[in-house]
Structure 1
Amino acid sequence: MTSHPTAATNASAPGRLIYGCMGLGGSWDDAPYGPAEVDQAAAAIDAARHLGITLFDHADIYRRGKSEQVFGDVLAATPGLREQLLIQTKCGIRQAGDGLPGRYDFSAGHILASVNGSLQRLRTDYVDILLLHRPDPLTDVAELAGAVGRLMEEGKVRALGVSNMSAAQISHLQDRLETPIVANQLEMSLGKRAWVESTVLVNQDTGFDTGFPHGTLEHAATHGIELQAYGSLAQGLYSGRPSGTAADLATAGLVQALAQGWNTTAEAVVLGWLMRHPARISPVIGTSNPARIAACADAPRIAAEMSREAWYALWTEARGSAMP
């Protein structure tokens, strides 16, 4: 099997902006959504498309399935829209309920049922990329490979990715999969820096405290795996709600100063810092506010123009100490 051409597999290609749909669909409980939530989803989708965003990120658990469902409502109300978009969703997390604990599940039965449920809610016949959401320690890789192969043969999934996985975990899966893993979605931002700290803390005692598996970025670059960054705006820590530590406040000040000097927004600076890294990082924008989505438009330009000195200045300010 080969990956679908819509999936990013070229290691030399720059990152892209992705719209994350977790904020759509109303509450996180079982309460139904209404017309206001449909209008909110339509406005967010339109704002993202205005930026040139084509990839929309989902998971079967977001808002207990309502994020996918409200997105499907917008697709159904807009003939021809589905063909203009790329949709990815995730499976593998089972939430607590009916006396059972929250858990992870890569069994064939759960994967097949999860994807079929997502397709029904999204009102589409296929997803462009399916991400395996979090590692399941009980994974039977042969069983997993069989389920993925079946979904691809049926045309329900066109490419495969993972989320929250290390290089070793990806390699373990890839040994048995016939289709290449094309994406790995991780929490990465100027606020959550373990992914970049791990690269300079090799042979440093503090390196053991980062909690990020060293070599994961390098593995992605070597194998043409797109790195997708969730939480990429750091929940507005540097671009709208300055708070936290002295380092956080200083970083927010630097972000604002750079934004003014570059005639752009704080959001573009924060995302541009991620995209400046050569690992092809693609930020996932999670806000449902159209104005804040629009504020991200300049990120690719800022990434292309950001100097090494500015990039290191932001990192050093955020970490609150000099490079080791």
Structure 2
Amino acid sequence: MKKIKLGNSDLQVGEISLGCMRMASLSNEEAAHVIETALEVGVHLFDHADIYGGGKSEEVFADAVGMTPSVREKMILQTKCGIRKGFFDFSKEHILNSVDGSLQRLKTDYIDILLLHRPDALMEPEEVAEAFSQLKESGKVRHFGVSNQNPMQIELLKKYLDVDLIVNQLQLSIMHTPMIDAGLNVNMQNDPSIVRDSGVLEYCRLNNITIQPWSPFQYGMIKGSFVGNADFPEVNAKLQEMAEKYGVTDSTIAIAWLLRHPAKMQPVVGTMNPERLKVIAAASGIELTREEWYELYRSAGNVLP
């Protein structure tokens, strides 16, 4: 698998990562098979969050790999914090406690990347900065990032931080493209021209923040997969056409579409099916043409100005 550099860090990672949200439902043997397959195909960044399975996803992961220092050095572990029942929490106390919990569940003494999961309207950036500094100095966390944040939210954080933010996780798929739509419909009065995220795509590129697209097979706000969905005949016909051309699956092409973007994104795929993970990983070996990228974009119902 091709590798990319995450943000301004020294981390070189496979250009596809594995989201472990659904791992809580697996047995240790099933989880081990998924993780082994991921490593075999070049996927070695594993994305967690303290809320996935109420913490069980992290526990199953660690138990499945039989976490030891030699096992740990083969992978990049990323986790997120900030979502609590009914509210968001970027307080220093919660960030520190959340990291300690993840370290305990993952059976490791450090997290490679910690992300703030969803924006907290009551965020006090000075508190976040104190938490990050303490985590960095203690060696508990090596790198930091955010998830679902816009440029001004990131700028506010950066004013107080003494560490780089290297990742921003954002929802993006062929069927969910607001950050792309606005950039194509400049100075128009149609709905796609509305800038919903303050130009976050261009901002991240300008500031060397790697975008990690989440739910790359979903439409709407996690309403379901569009791949193979009869409600979306045009995009599936185009996916199938290109899949046949390249000798891969439609899911492979859906990820190749994201990888074709020059922002050098790292999609987070959440499959717990080892065979499906293999075919998805094949996207790293495919480079769609410019024309094919736009054909897929239009097949999702997007009209170019």
Q: TM-score, normalised by structure 2?
A: 0.91
CA distance in 1, matches of 2:78, 2:190: 36
The superposition leaves residues 231-271 of structure 1 with CA deviations (integer Å, 9 ceiling, x where unpaired) of: 01225422xx3222xxx211101101111111122121100
Moved more, 45-54 or 197-206: 197-206
Moved more, 281-290 or 76-85: 76-85
Q: CA deviation at 1:207?
A: 4.2
The superposition leaves residues 203-241 of structure 1 with CA deviations (integer Å, 9 ceiling, x where unpaired) of: 222347757313211111111111001101225422xx3
CA distance in 1, matches of 2:299, 2:161: 42
| 2:80 aligned residue (77, 84, 90) | 90
Give the letter for the 2:22 counterpart.
Answer: G
| 1:47 aligned residue (34, 37, 41) | 37
Give the letter for the 2:130 counterpart.
Answer: G
Q: Give the structure 2 partner of residue 322 of structure 1.
A: 303
1:250–1:14 distance in 2 versus 1, CA, 3 Å: farther
Unaligned stretches of 5+ in structure 2? 219-223
Matched, 1:24 2:23: yes
How high is the sequence identity, in percent, across the aligned residues?
A: 40
Q: CA deviation at 1:193?
A: 1.2
1:14–1:41 distance in 2 versus 1, CA, 3 Å: closer
| 1:59 aligned residue (39, 42, 49) | 49
SS across alignment from 2:142: coil
Q: TM-score, normalised by structure 1?
A: 0.86
Q: Give the structure 2 partner of residue 156 of structure 1.
A: 140
User: Contact 1:10–1:224 at 8 Å: present in 2 too?
Assistant: no
- The within-5 A match list for 1:21-170 is 21-26=20-25, 37-76=27-66, 80-95=70-85, 102-170=86-154
Matched, 1:242 2:223: no
CA distance in 1, matches of 2:282, 2:259: 11
Q: CA deviation at 1:10?
A: 7.0
| 2:158 aligned residue (155, 162, 174) | 174
CA distance in 1, matches of 2:187, 2:195: 15
SS across alignment from 2:110: coil
The superposition leaves residues 63-114 of structure 1 with CA deviations (integer Å, 9 ceiling, x where unpaired) of: 110100101112326662111000000000002xxxxxx1000001100000
Q: Give the structure 1 partner of residue 291 of structure 2.
A: 309
CA distance in 1, matches of 2:194, 2:217: 20
1:14–1:273 distance in 2 versus 1, CA, 3 Å: farther
- The within-5 A match list for 1:213-224 is 213-224=197-208
Aligned alpha-carbon RMSD (Å): 2.0
Q: CA deviation at 1:195?
A: 1.8
User: Contact 1:199–1:214 at 8 Å: present in 2 too?
Assistant: no
Q: CA deviation at 1:143?
A: 1.0
1:78–1:179 distance in 2 versus 1, CA, 3 Å: closer
Moved more, 73-82 or 146-155: 73-82
CA distance in 1, matches of 2:137, 2:237: 52
User: Contact 1:15–1:280 at 8 Å: present in 2 too?
Assistant: no
CA distance in 2, matches of 1:127, 1:167: 25
Q: CA deviation at 1:45?
A: 0.6
CA distance in 2, matches of 1:284, 1:212: 22
User: Contact 1:185–1:227 at 8 Å: present in 2 too?
Assistant: yes
Unaligned stretches of 5+ in structure 1? 1-5, 27-35, 96-101
The superposition leaves residues 147-190 of structure 1 with CA deviations (integer Å, 9 ceiling, x where unpaired) of: 11001100000000000001111111111100000000011111
User: Contact 1:19–1:48 at 8 Å: present in 2 too?
Assistant: yes
Aligned residues: 295
CA distance in 1, matches of 2:75, 2:38: 11
More strand by share: 2
1:153–1:321 distance in 2 versus 1, CA, 3 Å: closer
